[in-house]
Every structure is written in structure tokens, then in C-alpha cells.
């Protein structure tokens, strides 16, 4: 999603570029257009004499790519206060690195990345520039219902179960509220402790949480495929967005919600601080802890990320519900700043400027 928006922004700004997608786990580049939409298909099939190559992926995959002699820029992101110990040699073999936030730039430099590091934020998809699907009627979201949304893969880092628990502590079945959880069908929890034959599925994980609350407020689990138009429709209808992610290099869910003027509740940590400030969001108190995602080798014992305070998150949810004018004002302020600072032409110019510095 982030890479696609950047490619579209660069093309709209007049950049001559070719996009080479690498679908699937095999990382096999393809130059055959098809299935990406007319604009991206055209860029996939284009033939241009390029001066620089930008590789958007995990650093582990850099050695798999065949270099063509042009300067290479690695475009990547990380979500703890220390990069993996095996990343610096991979990244220092390139000519430069692009990260989406100033926090990442500091973490990468402190971790031993010696090549130039540029900050190029993700591109905002501004309201009114793309089609929207009305999902409110499909989901039965009445006009008097206060809609809380959260979007993300159900894994240990994004931890949507923590957001669900905060919501259930803030509200009961007597409140005119609903939480829409947009996620996938599978959970990816490295420390899963939910027993049962369907323990790796989000419906099972959600049921395991909800059954601990005697009068749970309404929750809609949307774990099927949604189009981009439907996601935009959810942002358009939501009254509040909550994420309890332990760390984000950017956080597209919160970013897109804020772009639509939805007040955001989030830990005040990581990449989100580049586009959300305390006067335009609600920051959940947190402490720094060692990641629990032990099944992923890139997270190491000296890494730290945020552990959000669930009780504080529940209090903030209740505050937004009871003080909607204040919440809407914060949402409007965040949206105005995002429209100013992260519009496609603004981000494209930042990318072009850094690429030119690499070539200089």
C-alpha cells in the first residue's frame, strides 16, 4: 500500500520511472503488467533509462536482487528502538537508505547504518481523491451509533486484542457503541496462549477475549477481504480510531484515519509522532519493554517497544465518547496538518530531493 502510493505520487509529479513488482514469497520480479490497475500496469511495462534503483522490502531480501550498476536505495522500516543486528551489513552494501520517519532515521544510525539515511514519509490519500464504498448500511451502523474502528493484522506487535480489551473495559452492552475490527482470518501471535482447535483464527481469539466480560459492548469482526473503497468507507463513518500497537514505523491505519479527520487514540511512541501531536490526538501512557514476539528472529533481547496502559486507553475511549466536540476538533487539526505535510506532491518532492543527493 505505502509503496504503491509512493509510485503513484512520483508518476503524478512527472517522474520517469518503471515499477517492478515482486509478487509472492519467491521474490521473482515481473515486468508483465496485469492485475495492478491501469496506472501501475503502465508503469510496470514502461521502459526508461533510470539513474537510481529504489528497493522497497526487507533488507534480508537485498542479496537476492541482481544489481544493474545504478545507485541503489533501500526503502524499508522497523518497529523497535534497535534494528536487527544482521541489518547493518546488508544496508551498508547499498548507496543509501530511505525510512518513513525521523525515529527510524535515529534508530538506524545508532544501529550502525553508515550510508546516507533519508526520511521520506508515507503518502496521504486525501479525502475526495479516491472512491469510497458506504459500509455503514452493510454493517448496520445506525446514525446514532458511536463507531470505534481498528485496522491491522492480528499479531503480537499490532496487538488488536489489547484494543478490544480496552474497548470492553470502557463500554458495556448498554452503550450505543460498536467496535469494528478489520483484520484477517488468521492470527500471527508468536506468544499465543489461547487454547483450542481454532486458536490460530481471529474469530476464536476474539471469542476468547469477549467471554471474559459479562455484558460486552457490540463488536463487529470483519476478517474477510475488503477493498480499498470499503476501508475508506469505514474511515469516513468512524467516530474514533484506536490502535494499541506496541510500535509502528508509520502506522497506515492510524494515518489514514487521521487523514479523514477521525480522532486517534494511540501510544505516543514511534513513527506516528511524525504526523500526530498531543494537541491533535489522544496518547496512551506506556512503558518500554522487551518485545514478546519471540518467534521472529529479528526481535532481540536488547530491543524495546511500548507497552500501552490498557486502563488509560479505556479512559480515553470513554472521554472521546463523552466529549465528541473536543475529539472532532483534534481530528480536524490532525487532518489539516496531514493534508499540508503529506500530500502526494509534497512527499514526491522529498523523494526526488533525496535521490538527487545520492547521485550528487
CA dihedral of residues 324, 161, 245, 225 (deg, nearest 10): -90
Q: What pLDDT does residue 355 have?
A: 96
Q: Quote the CA–CA distance of 170 and 184 in Å, as a whole number.
A: 25
Of residues 267, 255, 257, 253, the one with CA closest to residue 308 = 267
Q: What pLDDT does residue 71 have?
A: 93
Over 90: is that where the pLDDT of 99 sits?
A: yes
Q: What pLDDT does residue 42 have?
A: 80
Q: Where are the domains of the chain?
A: 2-123+343-359, 136-341
Of residues 298, 315, 312, the one with CA closest to residue 268 = 312
Predicted TM-score of the model (pTM): 0.93
Q: What is the pLDDT confidence band of residue 65, given thresholds at 50, 70 and 90?
A: confident
Q: Quote the CA–CA distance of 194 and 201 in Å, as a whole number.
A: 10
Mean pLDDT of 157-172: 97
Q: What is the pLDDT confidence band of residue 226, given thresholds at 50, 70 and 90?
A: very high
Mean pLDDT of 292-297: 61
Q: What angle do CA 128, 321, 228 make, to 5 degrees?
A: 30
Q: Quote the CA–CA distance of 114 and 94 in Å, as a whole number.
A: 10
3-state secondary structure of 282: strand
Distance of CA 358 to the CA centre of its chain: 27
User: Which of 41-50, 95-104, 305-314, 345-354 has the least mean pLDDT?
Assistant: 41-50
Contact assessment for residue 149 and residue 240, using Cβ atoms and an 8 Å cutoff: yes
Of residues 57, 62, 68, the one with CA closest to residue 23 = 57
Buried-exposed string 84-97: b where 16+ CB fall within 10 A, e elsewhere: beebbebbeebbbb
What is the pLDDT of the chain when averaged over all its residues? 91
Over 60: is that where the pLDDT of 31 sits?
A: no
Q: What is the pLDDT confidence band of residue 35, given thresholds at 50, 70 and 90?
A: low
Grid coordinates belonging to 198: 481454532
User: Which of 31-40, 86-95, 115-124, 216-225 has the least mean pLDDT?
Assistant: 31-40
Over 90: is that where the pLDDT of 241 sits?
A: yes
Q: What pLDDT does residue 41 have?
A: 79
Q: What is the DSSP letter of 66?
A: P
Q: Where are the alpha helices (DSSP H) in 171-271?
A: 202-210, 228-237, 252-259
Q: Quote the CA–CA distance of 275 and 335 in Å, as a whole number.
A: 9
Mean pLDDT of 308-322: 98
Q: What pLDDT does residue 38 have?
A: 77
3-state secondary structure of 181: strand
Contact assessment for residue 85 and residue 112, using Cβ atoms and an 8 Å cutoff: no
CATH numeric code, 136-341: 3.40.50.2000
Amino acid at each position: 500500500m505505502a509503496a504503491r502510493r509512493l509510485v503513484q505520487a512520483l508518476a503524478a509529479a512527472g517522474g520517469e520511472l518503471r515499477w517492478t513488482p515482486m509478487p509472492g514469497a519467491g521474490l521473482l520480479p515481473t515486468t508483465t503488467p496485469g492485475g495492478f490497475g491501469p496506472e501501475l500496469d503502465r508503469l510496470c511495462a514502461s521502459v526508461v533509462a533510470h539513474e537510481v534503483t529504489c528497493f522497497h522490502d526487507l533488507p534480508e531480501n537485498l542479496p537476492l536482487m541482481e544489481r544493474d550498476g545504478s545507485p541503489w536505495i533501500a526503502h524499508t522500516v522497523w518497529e523497535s528502538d534497535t534494528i536487527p543486528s544482521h541489518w547493518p551489513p546488508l544496508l551498508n552494501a547499498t548507496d543509501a537508505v530511505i525510512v518513513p520517519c525521523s525515529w527510524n532515521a535515529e534508530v538506524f544510525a545508532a544501529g550502525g547504518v553508515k550510508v546516507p539515511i533519508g526520511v521520506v514519509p508515507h503518502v496521504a490519500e486525501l479525502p475526495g481523491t479516491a472512491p469510497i464504498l458506504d459500509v455503514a448500511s452493510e454493517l448496520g451502523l445506525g446514525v446514532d451509533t458511536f463507531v470505534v474502528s481498528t485496522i491491522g493484522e492480528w499479531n503480537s506487535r499490532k496487538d488488536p486484542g489489547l484494543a478490544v480489551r480496552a474497548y470492553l473495559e470502557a463500554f458495556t452492552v448498554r452503550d450505543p457503541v460498536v467496535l469494528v475490527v478489520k483484520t484477517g482470518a488468521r492470527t500471527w501471535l508468536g506468544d499465543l496462549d489461547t487454547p483450542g482447535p481454532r486458536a490460530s483464527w481471529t474469530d476464536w481469539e476474539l471469542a476468547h477475549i469477549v467471554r471474559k466480560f459479562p455484558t460486552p459492548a457490540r463488536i463487529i469482526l470483519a476478517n474477510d477481504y475488503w477493498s480499498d473503497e470499503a476501508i475508506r468507507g469505514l474511515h469516513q463513518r468512524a467516530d474514533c480510531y484506536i490502535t494499541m500497537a506496541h510500535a509502528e514505523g508509520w502506522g497506515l491505519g492510524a494515518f489514514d484515519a487521521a487523514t479523514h479527520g477521525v480522532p486517534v487514540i494511540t501510544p505516543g511512541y514511534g513513527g506516528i509522532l511524525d504526523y500526530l501531536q498531543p494537541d491533535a490526538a489522544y496518547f496512551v501512557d506506556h512503558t518500554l519493554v522487551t518485545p514478546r514476539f519471540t518467534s521472529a528472529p529479528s526481535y532481540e533481547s536488547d530491543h524495546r517497544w511500548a507497552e500501552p496502559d490498557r486502563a488509560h486507553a479505556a479512559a480515553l475511549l470513554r472521554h472521546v465518547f463523552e466529549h465528541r466536540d473536543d475529539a472532532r476538533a483534534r481530528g480536524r487539526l490532525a487532518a489539516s496538518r496531514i493534508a499540508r505535510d503529506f500530500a502526494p506532491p509534497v512527499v514526491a518532492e522529498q523523494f526526488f530531493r533525496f535521490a538527487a543527493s545520492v547521485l550528487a
